[in-house]
Chains A and B, each alone.
Chain A
Amino acid sequence: QKEVEQDPGPLSVPEGAIVSLNCTYSNSAFQYFMWYRQYSRKGPELLMYTYSSGNKEDGRFTAQVDKSSKYISLFIRDSQPSDSATYLCAPGNKLVFGAGTILRVKS
């Protein structure tokens, strides 16, 4: 079993839609969770990190963690074409990344 599982997509949505990106992990010892955004041919950019179960909001982005299910989500409200990128989750161990979900927001 991989340490981190992500649906590779691509996920295509119309502009303004609410986007849900998900990730599962196997190691219950993970204590903190991060989401990165990576544009094509660029290095990843840290979007959000959180330490605990529950929700953390930052502008249009909300990170949700369910430690009991080992499931983390990133919600994007009012999605924009500029949100089109690959989103990588990194649960706990900063050296382990999901394969990434490709998001395409169409105008």
Chain B
Amino acid sequence: GAVVSQHPSWVICKSGTSVKIECRSLDFQATTMFWYRQFPKQSLMLMATSNEGSKATYEQGVEKDKFLINHASLTLSTLTVTSAHPEDSSFYICSAEGLLQETQYFGPGTRLLVL
């Protein structure tokens, strides 16, 4: 089946530092990847849609300068949280669109804690 990995699985950082999260589709090519944020006991909130070779499309209310997305290849998208603050602490999940395009396969998530 389609497998999506994320790295790191968890990260703790100091306020003001930047954190990069990688999302990889391991056994298929994904022209489109999605980045979500999930707070405890809440649903997934779409942050941005990442298309290979083009700029990401951000959802309303998501700061593009704070959450930098790069989709450099068909198997890799990265999310960089710049100048992270404690309120950025959350569970970040990526997904990759499957060949059928109606489904998406999720990574295991990255738990970010900003102190």
Q: Which residue of the partner chain B has the closest CB to A34?
A: B103
6 nearest A-B residue pairs (beta carbon)? A43-B106, A99-B43, A43-B109, A44-B106, A43-B108, A43-B93
The answer to whether B107 touches A43, judged by C-beta atoms less than 8 angstroms apart, is: yes
Q: List 5 A-B contacts (CB under 8 A).
A: A41-B111, A43-B6, A44-B44, A44-B93, A97-B44
> Which of chain A's residues has its CB closest to B107's CB?
A43
Most chain B CB within a 10 A radius of its CB, from A42, A44, A94: A44
> Which positions in B face A, CB cutoff 8 Å?
4, 6, 34, 41-44, 46, 49, 91, 93, 95, 97, 102-109, 111
Interface size on A, residues (CB 8 A): 18
Considering residues A34, A36, A88, A95, which has the most beta carbons from chain B within 10 angstroms of its beta carbon?
A95
Q: A44-B93, A97-B44, A99-B42 are in contact. Are A49 and B103 (CB under 8 A)?
A: yes
- Residue contact A88 to B103, C-beta cutoff 8 Å: no
Most B CB atoms within 10 A — which of A43, A45, A46? A43
User: Does A94 lie within 8 Å of B43, measured CB to CB?
Assistant: no
Which DSSP category, helix, strand, loop or mixed, fits chain A's interface? loop
Tally of A-B Cβ pairs under 8 angstroms: 44
Give Cα A42–Cα B108 distance, bound, in whole angstroms: 5
Question: How far apart sit A43 and B91, CA to CA, in the bound complex (Å)?
Answer: 9
Complex alpha-carbon distance, A22 and B25, angstroms: 31
Roughly how many angstroms separate A9 CA and B111 CA in the complex, as a whole number? 24
CB-defined contacts of A44 to chain B, threshold 8 Å = 44, 93, 95, 106
CA distance A63 to B85 in the complex (A): 41
Docked Cα-Cα span, A36 to B105, in Å, equals: 10
Interfacial chain A residues near B104, Cβ < 8 Å:
46, 94
Query: Which chain B residue lies CB-closest to A96?
Result: B46
In the bound complex, CA of A98 to CA of B42 (Å): 9
Cα distance A23–B97 when bound, in Å?
Answer: 23
Residues of B within 8 A of A41 (CB): 91, 109, 111
Residue of chain A at shortest CB distance from B92: A43
